[in-house]
Amino acid sequence: MSKIVLDIKNLTKTFTQGNTTLEVLQGINLSLKAGEIVAMVGASGSGKSTLLHIAGLLDQPTSGEITLGGVDALALSENKRAQQRRDNIGFVYQFHHLLPEFTALENVMMPLIIQGKSNKEAAKEACALLTAVTLYQRADHRPSRLSGGEQQRVAILRALVGTPKVLLADEPTGNLDVDTSNLVFEELVSLVRQHKIGALIATHDLELAKRMDRIVHLDHGVLV
């Protein structure tokens, strides 16, 4: 059996505004295995982004447990949680958020440099990924010279370089046309499978969701 890389138990998130308490997430239970791709669907405002932020240790839940690679993530200090984000979690958003002053190669290298690898080591790993998705010829281009699809593909490579345990993606193909969306998704799936990364992908695209291993529905803060 594949190893569980992310395990969420009884997770809740509430916000209080005046005398009103808003329950954004209610008793969420979700496990993600290595190499597994899970689609998370739900209406806007259902809590998908909130759940991804908490799963990615960017926000704290009101209650519950998050185990990342066997580690109780919520028991860690803020510095240790930051290390977990740096080393074990990759993020992809609807907008690429590439650094405009750096080339495609340098953007992909950046997480490895932050982890402490040498420029030579980082460049070697980044080049291998760019080559794997036939983007090496664009390696020296800054984001402004890349198409929308190329920008998003570079963003995905940046999230996957260094082989994190978990990939969290929030509408990663939402800004792309159908053909480009399919290409980006196929490359993402190939890399996730190859490196045995667990992926949780929020999407409004039901056809895309059906191509993943399973689908979970978030409805008014409840996962069904």
pLDDT band at 144 (very low <50, low <70, confident <90, very high): very high
- Distance, in Å, from the CA atom of 167 to the CA atom of 160, rounded to the nearest integer, reads 7
Domain ranges of the chain: 4-223
pLDDT of residue 198: 94
CB 91 within 8 A of CB 98: no
Which percentage of the chain shows pLDDT scores above 90? Answer: 58
pLDDT of residue 110: 92
pLDDT in tens, 166-190: 999 998 887 778 888 888 888 888 8
Whether the predicted pLDDT of 53 surpasses 80 = yes
Mean pLDDT of 77-86: 91
Order the strands of the 214-219 sheet from edge to edge: 89-92, 166-170, 198-202, 37-41, 214-219, 222-223
Task: Indicate the pTM of the whole model.
Answer: 0.89
- Distance, in Å, from the CA atom of 118 to the CA atom of 111, rounded to the nearest integer, reads 11
pLDDT in tens, 19-32: 888 888 999 999 99
Whether the predicted pLDDT of 205 surpasses 90 = no
Q: What's the mean pLDDT when you consider all of the chain?
A: 90
CB 69 within 8 A of CB 214: no
pLDDT of residue 15: 85
The closest alpha carbon to 154, from 93, 84, 86, belongs to 93
pLDDT in tens, 88-135: 999 988 778 899 999 999 999 999 998 888 999 999 999 998 998 888
Q: Which fold has domain 4-223?
A: Rossmann fold (3.40.50)
pLDDT of residue 174: 76
